[in-house]
Structure 1
Amino acid sequence: MTNILTWALRVLGALVALLGLGLAAGGIKLISLGGSWFYLLAGIAMIAIGYCVIRRRSAALWTALGLLAVSLLWALWEVGIDFWQLVPRTVTFLVIALGTAIIAPVLLRKSGRPALPGKYAAGLSVVLAAAFVATLGGMFRPHPTIVATSSEAAPVVNADAGKDSGNDWPAYGRNTEGNRFAQFDQINKSNVKDLQVAWTYRTGDLAVDGKEYQTTPLKIDDTVYLCTPSNIVIALEATTGKERWKFDPHAKISESTKGWRRCRGVGYADLTAIAAPATDNAGSNGAAAPVALPEVCRKRILTSTTDARLLAIDAETGKLCEDFGVNGAVDLSVGLTPDPVGGQQGSYNVTSAPLVADGVVMVGGRLNDNLTVGEPSGVVRGFDVRTGQILWAWDAARGAKDSTPLPPGQTYAPETPNFWGTAAYDPKLGLAYFPTGNQTPDFWTGNRHEYSDEYNDAIVAVDMKTGKEAWHFRTANIDQFDYDVSSQPILYDLKKSDGSTVPVIIQLTKRGEIFVLDRRNGQPVVPVEQRKVSTKSMEGMQVAETQPFSAISVGTTPFKESDMWGGTIFDQLYCRIEFKEMRWEGHFTPLSDKQRTLIYPGYYGGFNWGGGAIDASTGTLIVNDIRMAQWGRFIKQEEAKRIGLKPSTEGEYSEQLGTPWGVERSMFVSPLGIPCFKPPFGSMTAIDLASGKTKWQVPMGSIQDAPVHGIVPGVLIPLGMPTMGGPLVTKGGLTFFHGTLDYYTRALDSDTGEELWRGRLPVGGQGAPMSYVGKDGKQYVVVVAGGATRTGTNDNRGDYVIAYALPK
């Protein structure tokens, strides 16, 4: 044997032995923490294989094959046939076995004969290579978490669903019920493969320097309306994308908003369709005389801004409606206390679409998370859509007792839980429904007000005309983890097995729990259980003994050691060690200053602001989720400063000024930047609401465009990545979605979850698609793409509005 081959075997053997040594050392650490013994034993086997390769002994081959067989049996025992969990447990050993099979002719038995004659070694190598190629091939196809048992279309329970909005998309969630369902079927399962770009529009407002496109446009008559992250409102011709007008409110940028500029949608009001308000002057018959409609601005766009203004814009001309508020604007900072840091207004800002219904425009507001105590009130207010006059004000400090606006000069109680999403409205009941967040700072509960605990992470129902509270329901008891509820509620009339119908509200939460309540009284329709959780907390913390869990949830199964993941057996071992070293006693394990605590579901979701959609004709709920675990620990502010942690509201360290502790937190990932827990990290799920059963669940998005340590993979491996935005469901049996980390718009079969069409985008997207029928009779699907969520840089950003349609 040549010297070159001898040295090659030595290098190969030494490499395998060194890797085995590292695996064995990590295995010893894991055993000391009470974890699996496999890694130590596998490491010892690899050391033996490396030694035997160096010595040219045939035992290298048989040990490698035995290790592969044992690893496969162990993996099947731990995780079953879950493809993505089998890969890191076996592929390293498959490669080692393949390598030893290739060199088998030069590995010798005691008799001096080869471990395997050339032709047998070649045959074994082909078999192992085929298994390796098959494993690689499996990475390029989706692996559903739950496979649909039938491809048949779901039975229709409401044939008229969606028809109330005609050919338009007149509200953020298509209607005030927030169901994101369009009854159009021109684009359907059979022809969606032919979908192509009909028109593209560039807004000119690039999503850079903290700006993100998360908007869902409206379509009324023949005009599409949307807003940009700078709160610029644009009107486009619906069939061509040609610009009709553009209005720039020149929103001021504050310290709070310079890195957080969004506009998720606008509202629309047609004053001619609203019951005319009455004046104080009685007519000749003693009845109140109606107020005459204005000459202009009878149709108006309502939009909020990141500098806390509510604007009314003429839908036809793009000019401010001068009769609304003061010269077209209402100052939403009126009645709020100044920011506790700096004393200026700016912490309070509005990023979500207002709810416009029954002559009222309803808004909440965003506040800084985790920065300091003393943040302004989270008051929710209703304004006259015609005049801008404040009609009511609900805040948690007063709750159900009083919703009248405060007199001029008075301020609403600071630190109350806020509502920063979009509300829903039931015109029959006259009730509006909004979800709330948490009293800041979010991770320290020792300073919580009693009313904050009563209304944190709640669903609140109020009379749309008066703001008077009808009921509220908490989705968490004393929130320690920024689990604010942010997605728009979905209203639906649920048909029961006994033939009766219950009007329900469906609320998605960051915890992954889906609460289904009777929207008349807030009572659970799907069972809710109060489960005991860990209460071992730091001195001064308030924690609840129980938390509510719904019978319907997505991605909420508590972690165990075998759920830890990695790209290879080595970072999987790292993640198992990290998991065992963390504090984890299930959901709501309190944070500590002594060790890191695992937070799962993470505080980004579950379900975030994008919400879900329901096929209102069949009662199928379709939702996208995020599955990203985080860790957190308390740290003294002075210690954080000493070690150089930089405070922010959204980053990895927050000061929580005014409390005893800051909080350090981060994603739970391996040194390779790969999540430390099993895929998918984002999915799309279909749930039959009548039965509560999951019909299918598929991974959503690939790693193709998601950079890891600055490296973009560039390959379409549908692992299932964290999602943003929400889905659109149509009567054509399709679910459209583009809130993935890769640059695609997709159409899924709503009955099976199978991907039927995929269109490449110039950049990623974060909003939710919408659909309408134009005056040309064609169905359009529109998406807005400004870049994938929170890239941290100005690279790969855009300002695209793209409409898709079938060819003529």
Structure 2
Amino acid sequence: MNKGISIFTKLVGIFLTLLGLALAAGGIYLISLGGSWFYLPAGLAMAGCGAGFIRTKAWTLYLSFVLLIASVIWALSEVGTDFWQLVPRTVAFLVIFMLAALCSPVLTNNAGRAALPKIASVVVSLVAVVSLVTVFANMFRVHPEVEPDATAAPAKVIDQTAKDNSGDDWTAWGRNTLGQRFAQFKQINTNNVKDLKVAWTYRTGDLAIDGAEYQTTPLKVGDTMYMCTPFNKIIAIDPETGKEKWRYDPHVKIGGANATWKRCRGIGYADLTTLPASADGQDLPSATTACRKRIVGTTIDARLFTVDAETGKLCEDFGDHGFVDLLKGLGPRAPGDFYPTSAPLVAEGIVMVGGHLNDNLEVGEPSGVVRGFDVRTGKLVWAWDPARGAKDSSPLPEGQVYAEESPNFWGTASYDPKLGLAYFPTGNQTPDFWNGNRHGYSEEYNDSIVAVEMKTGKERWHFRTANADQFDYDVSSQPILYDLPGKEGQTTPVVIQLTKRGEVFVLDRRTGKPVVPVEYRKVATDAMPGMKVADTQPFSAISVGTAPLKESDMWGASIFDQLYCRIQFKQMRWEGPFTPLSDKQRTLIHPGYYGGFNWGGGALDMSTGTLIVNDIRMAQWGQFIKREDAERRGLKASTEGEYSEQLGTPWGVERSMFMSPLGVPCFKPPFGSMTAIDLTTGKTRWQVPVGSIQDAPIHGVAPGMYIPLGMPTMGGPLVTKGGLTFFHGSLDYYVRAFDNNTGHELWRGRLPVGGQGAPMTYMGKDGKQYVVVVAGGATRTGTNNNRGDYVIAYALP
């Protein structure tokens, strides 16, 4: 028995010696970069333990214990009691001590006595094993970033009747034009959500493959639910049974950029019988006229169309036999470069649309003009053009082209019927990472929130969330409109704008002035010659996941890749947010250009004034590169990949996620969270990681273990008066329900594939509340594996 242990001990010793020397060598290099001194002595101690194992010396046990205690003290001093940061700092040393304890019968001193008496050896071994098992067990438990205050009462209800008169339907992308994603239904609540079951499942027949993604939120109006596929097909479904009623196919043309980028995040709805006569005197449809109620869609080949909500037939009186060409006025570059992907805003008889533009390919992209069309005729009513700004929103005469290279609007807008104003966010002039070619009008409107009159398109105000953008921080989430209660009983109409930077800007929606304080902080300006940078940038008093990264925030699945990540961090340029890119070395980009908050937006508990948001926390890096160097290295240019040419500018750009060799992020978890913010105080009520590693492939292999680390999220949440937040935009295949007061997960339903959109809910005519998700696969897997076309409704039995 002891002979077998002795052989095992020597093999362990050789392995530990090599690992320890490697750790020490890396530690020396980290010290030379000005980093932590811990890894050098820890590596030497590990190698010493290895030598002790080889020589079967009793002091191996004592040295391993000292190393373990030292690692715990060091870890606590760096990161406190943060579980996920403690794990890679201590587990390797706990394993070494456990092995030493298990091998202690053959670890002897000079007198030939074992390191520990037999009973003591068993006890110490058992303690070490139990400690390791405890650590492992805690990996399967959620570790909140912000725990709810156990002594505090539940969120105060400030509006008992919030949205009680808003009906049973879901008539716009954010349920209403205010973008709140809140439903007053309480049939499904915190007490019974655990009993939710699949009520029906429908499959569209359009698989999310070859660059197609399901990111849609359906609508429900009356006795029909409506949705779109990534190929812009409109499908009508019975909301109680899931049976298809009709479908309409606009037959999109695939080619150019949309060959690998197919999206339809939503559609619009219009009831023409509620509208006054049009400006040109067009009569209202009679009771027998088709298309009195219309579904409004856009296509990825840049068309706008409407279909009869009852029959699915094309509304031939709209535009040119049912279609409006959105490429008109955008110039010869527009085909293949411009196309809408998000739900249009429909209000006051106007359809408001922007469009997606290709990022980072080259200069000369078409205009980012935002246009309003008559929902009955398809006639262009107004055109807000960043190059003209507040001066003129009238459509250009036939044959003229809107000024190119202006910031675009590619998300979904919101509308305030009391003020008659629409609110939309903007991006920035592409290419995104080189801004030396930016026009004055682009700089004025980049990364902004713009308020325009819905009927005329006339600008009232705009607010910039970035003074100069060089990181693709385009603002994309739907603005949330809310009447914020004050201390004296008054209310302030605000617009809440989430940004990729993780900032939450809260502005008076009448004037655009900040209601929650905004501070303009100094940022780094040592940019490449020709770049345009600002010396200050706006930061809101409310933000999520924006704390600047430091060396101790570097993470990894083990002490070894954590050391690698610390070395990489120290080698990068990083002077805080907005550190400019260089051609000499990599620059850390944090928050990353995927977010923060992306297009999915947030939701607002209207009864308590609590903003609930999901975020992405993925640091990235970027570096300018000569195009000939990129070609020599075999880098393939693309708009979304790791290298873009940025033709027409001096430099291409290489960029990627900041990852360790093991395929895990180089920075501390969570990488995605759900956060509840009390808007009356600005304080975070709770913050929990969202998503496990179960279905997220690492080097092509899904771990299969439910470890709720908190993964990058997509889509958005749904909040109900039943005290619940529903979400299914995680990288694992689940739809979840969280308690609005605590953030605790109350229910989890397994999906056939991942999802990216936002859930919606409605009351059926059968008296049941349904929650619906669309699942076509987790975001950007890069393959056609694990893709789908599922629409799934949940209800109580």
Question: Quick one: distance in 2 between partners of 1:299 and 1:21?
Answer: 73
Matched, 1:492 2:493: no
Q: Distance in 2 between matches of 1:87 and 1:433?
A: 45
Give 2:312's aligned amino acid: G
Give how far 1:499 is off.
1.3
SS of 2:263's equivalent in the other structure is: coil
Q: Distance in 2 between matches of 1:31 and 1:390?
A: 64
Cα distance in 2 between the residues matched to 1:2 and 1:724: 55
- Does structure 1 residue 437 correspond to structure 2 residue 447? no
Query: Which residue of the partner structure matches residue 284 of structure 1?
Result: none
Which sections of structure 2, spanning at least 5 residues, go unmatched?
none
Q: Which residue of the partner structure matches residue 245 of structure 1? A: 246
Kindly state the Cα deviation for residue 109 of structure 1 after the two structures are TM-superposed. 1.4
Distance 2:79 2:2 in 1: 45
Amino acid at match of 1:661: W
Q: What per-residue deviation string (whole Å, max 9, x for no partner) do you get for residues 330-350 of structure 1?
A: 1000000122xxxx7111001
3-state SS, counterpart of residue 212 of structure 2: coil
* Stretches of 4+ aligned residues off by more than 6 angstroms: none
Aligned amino acid, residue 261 of structure 1: K
- Tell me the residue number matched to 2:21: 21
Equivalences for residues 781-796 of structure 1 within 5 A: 781-796=771-786
Contact 2:383-2:394 at 8 Å conserved across structures: yes
Provide the residue aligned with 2:295 in structure 1. 301
Q: Is the 8 A contact 2:9 2:53 kept in 1?
A: yes
CA distance in 1, matches of 2:19, 2:211: 43
**Is the 8 Å Cα contact of residues 278 and 291 (structure 1) preserved in structure 2?**
no
Asked if 1:33 corresponds to 2:33, the answer is yes
Contact 2:194 2:746 survives alignment (8 Å): yes
1:221-271 alpha-carbon deviations (Å, 9 max, x no partner): 011000000101000011111111000111111211111001000000000
Q: Is the 8 A contact 1:200 1:800 kept in 2?
A: yes
2:202 match: 201
User: In structure 2, what residue type is equivalent to 1:720?
Assistant: G
Shift of 1:278: 4.9
Distance 2:432 2:596 in 1: 17
Match of 1:110 in 2: 110
Q: Which amino acid aligns with 1:315?
A: A
Structure 1 equivalent of residue 343 of structure 2: 353
**Residue identity matched to 2:615:** D
Letter of the aligned partner of 1:7 in structure 2? Answer: I
Distance 2:353 2:451 in 1: 14
1:407 aligns with 2:397: yes
Amino acid paired to 1:223: T
Which letter maps to 1:219? K
Answer yes or no: is 1:122 the counterpart of 2:128.
no
CA distance in structure 2 between the aligned counterparts of 1:153 and 1:694, rounded to whole angstroms: 13
User: Does residue 268 of the first structure (1) align with residue 285 of the second (2)?
Assistant: no
Contact 2:2–2:105 (Cα < 8 Å) also in 1: no
Task: Give the conservation status (yes or no) of the 8 Å contact 1:763–1:798.
Answer: yes
What's the CA shift string for 1:484-504, capped at 9, x where partnerless? Answer: 000000000000112110000
- Alignment match, 2:306: 312
Q: For residues 375 and 104 of structure 1, what CA distance do their matches in structure 2 show?
A: 70
Q: Which amino acid aligns with 2:217?
A: T
Question: Which residue number in structure 2 is paired with residue 158 of structure 1?
Answer: 159
Retained in 1: the 8 A contact 2:234–2:247? yes
Q: Distance in 1 between matches of 2:202 and 2:5?
A: 62
Deviation string, structure 1 residues 741-760 (Cα, Å, up to 9, x no partner): 00000000010000000000
What letter matches 1:557 in structure 2? A
Does structure 2 retain, via aligned residues, the 8 Å contact 1:279–1:290? Answer: no
The letter of the residue matching 1:580 is K
Per the TM alignment, residue 152 of structure 1 is displaced from its structure 2 partner at its CA by: 4.2
Distance 2:350 2:653 in 1: 40
Deviations 1:133-190 (A, max 9, x none): 0000000010000000147432222233223430000000000000000000000000
1:397 aligns with 387
Map of 2:770 onto structure 1: 780
Q: 2: CA distance between counterparts of 1:681 and 1:465?
A: 42
Question: Whole-Å Cα distance in 2 between the matches of residues 278 and 626 of structure 1?
Answer: 44
C-alpha separation in 2, matches of 1:759 and 1:201? 17
Number of the residue aligned with 1:572: 562
Query: Residue 57 of structure 2 contacts residue 109 of structure 2 at CA under 8 Å; is this kept in 1?
Result: yes
Between the aligned partners of 1:100 and 1:155, the Cα distance in structure 2 is: 55
Query: RMSD in angstroms over aligned alpha carbons?
Result: 1.1
Q: Given that residues 308 and 314 in structure 2 are in contact (C-alpha distance below 8 angstroms), is that contact kept between their aligned partners in structure 1?
A: yes
Number of matched residues?
A: 795
Letter in 2 for 1:217: P
Alignment correspondent of 2:592 = 602
Give me the whole-angstrom Cα distance separating, in 1, the residues matched to 2:655 and 2:5.
50
| Deviation for aligned residue 1:291 | 4.8
Query: In the superposition, relative to structure 1, how do residues 577 and 378 fare at CA in structure 2: closer, same or farther (>3 Å)?
Result: same
Give the superposition deviation at 1:633. Answer: 0.2
Cα distance change of structure 1 residues 69 and 335 upon mapping to structure 2, 3 Å threshold: same
What is residue 255 of structure 1 aligned with on the other side?
Answer: 256
Is the 1:165–1:174 Cα contact (8 Å) retained in structure 2? no
Aligned to 2:439: 449
Q: Distance in 1 between matches of 2:165 and 2:656?
A: 45
Q: Is the 8 A contact 2:273 2:284 kept in 1?
A: no
CA contact (8 A) 1:279 1:291 kept: no
Looking at structure 1, the residues matched to 275 and 142 of structure 2 have their Cα atoms a distance apart, in angstroms, of: 49
Q: Distance in 2 between matches of 1:722 and 1:500?
A: 38
Letter in 2 for 1:338: P
SS of 1:452's partner is helix
Q: Whole-Å Cα distance in 2 between the matches of residues 211 and 328 of structure 1?
A: 25
Question: What's the CA shift string for 1:624-664, capped at 9, x where partnerless?
Answer: 00000000000011111111110000000000000000000
Alignment of 1:419 onto 2:420: no
Aligned residue type for 1:162: K
Aligned residue among 668, 683, 686 for 2:673: 683
The SS at the match of 2:357 is: coil
Matches within 5 A, 1:50-199: 50-150=50-150, 152-199=153-200
Match of 2:319 in 1: 325
Q: Contact (CA 8 Å) 1:490, 1:505: kept in 2 or not? A: yes
Gaps of 5+ in 1: 281-288
Secondary structure of 1:126's counterpart equals helix
Percent of aligned positions that are identical: 71
